[in-house]
Amino acid sequence: MRVAVPVFPGSNCDHDALHACGTIMGWDTIPVWHQETRLPENTELVFVPGGFSYGDYLRCGAIAALAPIMADVKRHADSGGLVLGVCNGFQILCEAQLLPGALLRNESLRFIHSEVHLRVERADLPFTRAMKPGAVFQVPIAHAEGNFTLDPTDLVDLEARGGVVFRYCSPKGEIGADHVPNGAMNGIAGIVNVRGNVLGMMPHPERAVDPKLGSTGGLGMFQSLLEAFARA
């Protein structure tokens, strides 16, 4: 299993991604500088990491979406390859139009870092297949722009096609505005494209995979990817 982690100026979760995929999962994980024009051969998963690419200039992710490596990430996605974008990675995938919507400033106007609970809405994806539908898991968030927004009509379409993968919830799995940390529409924490191979999410599963660091709530996603690749 080969994973490519694009690194932009200002990325700061690239090492979390490399640790989770490389050290913890034992996958062949390669950092790829944003100026490169090709992903490593036989890349199966592209992990677009979090951070503040290009200092969040213009809009979060807007400049990174135009980086040379992103053309090959799009090609990879178009040919059915898996792409996972976390936090700033999610913002980049939206700006690159690989995913619908946009991430606005948090409703509170504050940068939020805390543990959240997520409910699994889709457990049939390569990213979630080892999880149960409706299951709840705990992962950290750390962002100032995580307020997911979409045109009302497009939001209806997104929900109707099952595009929502994770929703913020209570520890027991209850949904409601009280459990949404950032004001995201419908409590949306993560979405997937129509084809099911490009997933973006604000929370950080890659920061919750190592018992030594205190939590392992994010492991389910990596076990899912492991299963998906074992079958491929």
Partner 1 sequence: MKVRVSVQLKPGILDPQGKAVEQGLHGFGFEVDHVRIGRLIDMDVPGTDPAEVKAKALAMCEKLLVNPVMEKASIEVL
Residue among 135 and 177 whose Cβ is closer to partner 1: 177
DSSP state of 210: B
Interface pattern 8-47 for partner 1 (x via CB under 8 A): ----------------------------------------
201 binds partner 1 (CB under 8 A): no
Active-site residue, from 60, 87, 94, 169:
87
Tokens of 211: 């018992």
Residue among 95 and 206 whose Cβ is closer to partner 1: 95
Establish whether 87 is a catalytic residue: yes
Interface pattern 141-170 for partner 1 (x via CB under 8 A): ------x-xxx-------------------
DSSP state of 221: H
Query: Could you give the residue ranges of the DSSP H alpha helices within 4-141?
Result: 14-18, 68-78, 88-95
CA distance to 2, 56, 81, 118, 222, per residue, from 51 (Å): 22, 9, 23, 21, 20
Q: What is the Cα–Cα distance from 106 to 34, expressed in whole angstroms?
A: 27
E strands, the chain, where?
2-7, 28-33, 45-48, 82-86, 102-104, 112-120, 136-143, 147-149, 164-169, 188-192, 198-201
| Interface stretch with partner 1, choices 7-15, 106-114, 156-164, 197-205 (CB under 8 A) | 106-114
Question: Closest separation between CB of residue 46 and partner 1, Å?
Answer: 22
Catalytic residues: 87, 204, 206
Q: What residues make contact with partner 1 under the rule CB under 8 A?
A: 58-59, 62, 66, 94-95, 100-102, 104-109, 147, 149-151, 183
